[in-house]
Amino acid sequence: MSGENGNRIKSQHIFLFPFNIEYIDDDANKAKKHKAFINDIITDIKASDWQYKAYNPTETENNYNEFFYFHKYVQNVIFETKQLKDMEISQESAISYYFEKTNELKQYGEMVINIKTKNINDDTYKLQVSNISLRLFETGIGILSLVLLNYEKENIDDIMRINEFGRRIYPQFLDEKEGIDKTKCIFLANNIALTWNGRKMKEHFYVKHYNKML
């Protein structure tokens, strides 16, 4: 399999990051307000540069096969509908919404994983971002998904390291002597940078960030 530049894709990686959107309020109508709060967020995202993708099982053969592979109660969750009538999706009955950032990523998207080593130089893995998607449920649960393409590393050990360090954004442990530096030599990336369309985000995984969550 080759990319647009003709280079062969060595591996493809899909990272899923679940999260929860909370509505902080002690009011008796908290549940009702929370649903309205989530609906407002979904409306704002629809009006942004995220592309809303409604699912149509009759659009392609693959869509049909994927949709009818699942039981109906699963269809209701992952395919944005509570009921299917005459093969038409009712967006008004959706309990989940799917968004993508695709077009701008094909040319500009890149994810760089920097891994701390005991040597002088750290290891770096550069991956092309082919897709970023976001699924939001009316309950406030969300899943951010990244699809990454590796054109540079073909050694199986490197591919496994991309999997291990690219999917972790929280330290599994802190060493008594070396703190998070020990974690970064085993599981956690030293830093991860995500760039698309001229915008860049970089996470260094400092301990002080996690202490605020305790």
Residue identified by tokens 């093969």 is: 87
pLDDT at 50 over 90: no
Question: What global pTM score does this model have?
Answer: 0.77
Residue percentage of the chain with pLDDT more than 90 = 28
Is the CB of residue 85 less than 8 Å from the CB of residue 91? no
pLDDT at 211 over 80: no
DSSP letters spanning 78-147: HTT-S-EETTEE-GGG-SEEEEEE-TTHHHH-EEEEEE--SSSSPEEEEEEEEEEEEEEETTSEEEEEEE
Q: Tell me which H or E stretch contains 196.
A: strand 191-196
The confidence score (pLDDT) of residue 120 equals 66
The pLDDT mean for the chain works out to 81
pLDDT at 191 over 90: yes
- 91's torsion region: left (phi>0), alpha (psi -120 to 50) or beta? alpha
The confidence score (pLDDT) of residue 85 equals 46
Q: Pull the structure tokens for residue 53.
A: 């993708």
10: which residues sit within 8 A by CB, 6+ positions away?
150, 151, 152, 153, 154, 159
Query: Domain residues of the chain, as ranges?
Result: 11-16+101-211, 17-100
pLDDT at 86 over 50: no
Low-confidence winner among 45-49, 165-169, 189-193 (lowest mean pLDDT):
45-49
